[in-house]
């Protein structure tokens, strides 16, 4: 099968396309024909071994010391079940699924094996494979942080999303709207079209206005790009308000229920996939370069098979 191989930790050019052996599922695994996979900031961080504090060391322990132990990167995917291990009852060949491969990675290839009990769900009926793959990364992260902030137990909360046009930020706006929030989105001029289309109630341009001095009080300030500090929100948070950031030491936990929830929200028309660009697998280097730019709007997807 064809796969994108990460030959070392480093810039996008460490990735090459190669023919490798198709994996074989263990008894509790499924073999997935990967249709699409996202290329997200998580994939780029692993490839470049880029993370704050002691995380690069943690990543070396988790993924391999000198280069990724599994040279095929790729966390979030959609695809079709090709084969199931003998203990698997939850899925059967032909099922269309989407989800995360987790720390084993491997989704940037024509086939990957995943645990049947892993972070997977049936693909939303109304989603294309490209859309399903795009939903997972930002969607799961946004659900994790917004729920941690208590959004699901608040009445019409006032929420500020700082960095509302990335993968996490765009999903956060839509998920906050699902919970009945009044959403203020902070973005640049380049993101206004997307921020409006996501349902933002107010838009603040970070190029023109300092969000720290807004004349408003929020229940939740969520920094979805990790560019602010808690003290930046001190004048705009209600006394019991919560500040959260993707830029700290907190790593979003991945749960099967999050993927199922995202699928439901998509089929109900409450969230979209927000795809910026789609690349063929052969253009993996260009896809990583674009993700590295930190300018993408929403999600970047690899179309691997059709
Ligand atoms: N802690 C965790 O568990 C966790 C989980 C997922 C992601 N993350 C981290 O979260 C961050 C965001 O991830 P992502 O995938 O959503 O990123 P992304 O899609 O690459 O974000 C790009 C977007 O951010 C906007 N942006 C860039 N600089 C900005 C600034 N100074 N102020 C406001 N907006 C800005 C850009 O818009 P403009 O170009 O228009 O400014 C662009 O639309 C990454 O650092 C990632 O590693 C952490």
pLDDT digit string (tens) for the chain, length 306 residues: 999 999 999 999 999 999 999 999 999 999 999 999 999 999 999 999 998 888 899 999 999 999 999 999 999 999 999 999 999 999 999 999 999 999 999 999 999 999 999 999 999 999 999 999 999 999 999 999 999 999 999 999 999 999 999 999 999 999 999 999 999 999 999 999 999 999 999 999 999 999 999 999 999 999 999 999 999 999 999 999 999 999 998 999 999 999 999 999 999 999 999 999 999 999 999 999 999 999 999 999 999 998
CATH class belonging to 2-136+255-303: alpha beta
2-136+255-303 with 137-245: one CATH topology?
Answer: no
Return the ligand 1 atom nearest residue 41 CA: 15
Q: Parse the chain into domains and list their residue ranges.
A: 2-136+255-303, 137-245
pLDDT tens-digit profile of 214-270? 999 999 999 999 999 999 999 999 999 999 999 998 999 999 999 999 999 999 999
Question: Which residues face 300 on adjacent strands?
Answer: 277
Distance CA 141, CA 227 (A): 16
Buried b (16+ CB within 10 A) or exposed e, 21-46: eebebeeebbbbbbbbbbbbbbbbbb
Residue nearest (by alpha carbon) to ligand 1 atom 11: 225
Residue nearest (by alpha carbon) to ligand 1 atom 31: 227
For 137-245, which CATH superfamily applies? NAD(P)-binding Rossmann-like Domain (3.40.50.720)
Q: CB under 8 Å to 20, separation ≥6 — which residues? A: 1, 2, 3, 5, 72, 109
Q: Which residue from 225, 274, 293 has its CB within 8 A of the most atoms of ligand 1, so it is best to mutate?
A: 225
Return the ligand 1 atom nearest residue 164 CA: 34
Distance CA 118, CA 247 (A): 26
- Asked whether 253 lines ligand 1 (CB < 6 A), one says no
CA 169 – ligand 1 centroid, Å: 7
CB 97 within 8 A of CB 122: yes
């Amino acid at each position: 099968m064809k796969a994108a191989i990460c030959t070392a930790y480093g810039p996008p050019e460490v990735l090459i396309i190669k023919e490798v052996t198709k994996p074989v599922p263990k008894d509790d695994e499924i073999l997935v024909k990967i249709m699409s996979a996202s290329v997200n900031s998580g994939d780029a961080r692993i490839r470049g071994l880029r993370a704050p504090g002691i995380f690069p060391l943690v990543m070396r322990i988790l993924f391999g010391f000198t280069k990724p132990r599994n040279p095929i990167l790729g966390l979030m995917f959609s695809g079709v079940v090709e084969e199931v291990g003998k203990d698997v009852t939850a899925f059967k060949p032909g099922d269309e699924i989407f989800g995360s491969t987790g720390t084993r990675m491997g989704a940037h290839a024509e086939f990957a094996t995943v645990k049947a009990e892993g972070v997977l769900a049936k693909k939303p009926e109304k989603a294309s494979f490209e859309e399903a793959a795009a939903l997972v990364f930002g969607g799961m992260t946004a659900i994790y942080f917004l729920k941690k902030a208590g959004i699901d137990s608040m009445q019409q909360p006032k929420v500020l999303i700082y960095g509302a046009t990335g993968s996490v930020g765009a999903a956060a706006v839509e998920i906050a709207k699902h919970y009945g929030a009044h959403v203020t989105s902070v973005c640049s001029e380049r993101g206004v079209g997307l921020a409006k289309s996501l349902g933002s109630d107010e838009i603040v341009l970070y190029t023109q206005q300092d969000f720290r001095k807004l004349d408003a009080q929020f229940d939740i300030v969520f920094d979805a790009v990790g560019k602010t500090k808690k003290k930046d929100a001190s004048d705009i948070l209600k006394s019991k308000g919560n500040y959260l950031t993707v830029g700290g030491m907190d790593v979003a936990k991945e749960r099967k229920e999050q993927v199922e929830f995202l699928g439901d929200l998509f089929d109900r028309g409450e969230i979209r996939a927000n795809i910026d660009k789609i690349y063929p697998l052969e253009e993996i280097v260009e896809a990583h370069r674009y993700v590295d730019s930190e300018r993408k709007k929403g999600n970047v997807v690899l179309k691997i098979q059709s």
